[in-house]
Amino acid sequence: MDTPQGQSKQTKQTAGWREWAALPELGVSRIKAKLDTGARTSCLHAFYTRTYEHNGEPWLEFHLHPNQGDEETVLICQAPIVDQRNVTDSGGHVENRPVILTPMQLGGDLWPIEMTITNRDTMKFRMLIGRTAMRGRLLIDSDSSYLLGEPQP
C-alpha cells in the first residue's frame, strides 16, 4: 500500500531517533536533529530574529548556534516567511512562531520542509524534525542513532 507521498513502506529509509541533517539553503552543513514523532511541526533554534521586507515579501533573519554546547559558532540565516503559527510546546505553552520553507538533507535525500523558528537554548537539540517532515519518507528506530550518516556536501 502506498503512502500519501507515493512511497511504499519498503522504500522508506529507517532513521534513528537522532540524526545529522543539513539545511543547504541556510548555510547549515550539519546539525544534530531529534526526530520527534510526537511533534507535528519541525523547528529550528534561533537566538536572535529580525523580520524585514524583501521585494515586498516578509523575510526573517535569524542567528543560529548550529553545534550543541558551542556558543562561539554563529550562522546568520535568511529565509522568506511562509506563515505564522501558534505552536504549543511540550509544556503546554503557546507561542506564535514564524514558519520558513527550506530544503533539508537527511542521509542521501533532500526535500523541502516547513520549520518554525524559536529559541531552543534550554533544549538539548538545536533542531527538531516533526512528523509532517517525516511523513512518507522515514521509519523511526527508537533504539538507534545516526543510522543515515553525516550529510555529504
- pTM exceeds 0.85, yes or no: yes
Quick: pLDDT tens for 12-68: 999 999 999 999 999 999 999 999 999 999 999 999 999 999 999 999 999 998 888
Residues sharing a CB contact under 8 Å with residue 54, sequence separation 6 or more, in sequence order: 80
- CATH architecture of structural domain 9-141: Beta Barrel (2.40)
Give the Cβ contact number of residue 103 at 10 Å.
Answer: 13
Reference 77, options 17, 124, 127; nearest CA is 127
Helices first, then strands: H and E counts in the chain: 1, 11
